[in-house]
Amino acid sequence: MSGTLVLVRHGQSEWNLKNLFTGWRDPGLTAQGHDEAKEAGRKLAARGLKFDIAYTSALARAQVTCRHILDAVGQPDLETVRDLALNERDYGDLSGLNKDDARARWGEEQVHVWRRSYDVPPPGGESLRDTGARVWPYYMHVIQPHVLRGETVLVAAHGNSLRALIMALDGLTGEEVVRLELGTGVPIVYRLNADSTVASKEILQG
């Protein structure tokens, strides 16, 4: 029995637009972000996808994205589970700072290490490995069992929480995953085999 897992990074947020480190802060979506989320839903509806359950983070930008998608596929009342295990990576002391200002304060090289290394956290925050340490168990114990029963599951979350999940699904190394770019509002459709391996992966761009 093959199940389907759909991953979607939230639409553009107000802080994405302002080039700010967001992390666990909770800005809303921009007008473009709302449009991206609705378009993600239309793409999934065009594929005839219907969901058995949806998961999202404790942050509004992911929750609103999830709601737009479910509205577009005609399932506005679908059971939706919100959990901070799916939250964005916590950027700690960088949260709320403009990325250029952070470079001016700590230096370009140091900020690059915090942003693009796998296991070096910013001050008071999480590395990508730390993010994975909460995402992976939640996926294994809560989300994956639905997929392995042949269900179709939506996960609307964040760039780094989804990077961590894709790392596990695609078998990426730490060096590979930090180079992975995820577009806002772009659905990624996985079909999983009964043994949890990936049967197919499709990115619904354009």
In this predicted structure, the answer to whether residue 206 has a pLDDT above a threshold of 80 is no
68 is an active site residue: no
Domains parsed from the chain with CATH numbers? 3-203 (3.40.50.1240)
How many whole angstroms separate alpha carbon 115 and alpha carbon 133? 17
- Catalytic option among 10, 39, 68, 126: 10
Nearest Cα neighbor of 89 from 184, 157, 18 is 157
- Catalytic option among 39, 88, 126, 158: 88
10 is an active site residue: yes
CA distances from 115 to 3, 109, 159 (A): 33, 10, 12
In this predicted structure, the answer to whether residue 91 has a pLDDT above a threshold of 90 is yes
pLDDT per residue as tens digits for the range 95-131: 999 999 999 999 999 999 999 999 999 999 999 999 9
> pLDDT over 70 for what percent of the chain?
100
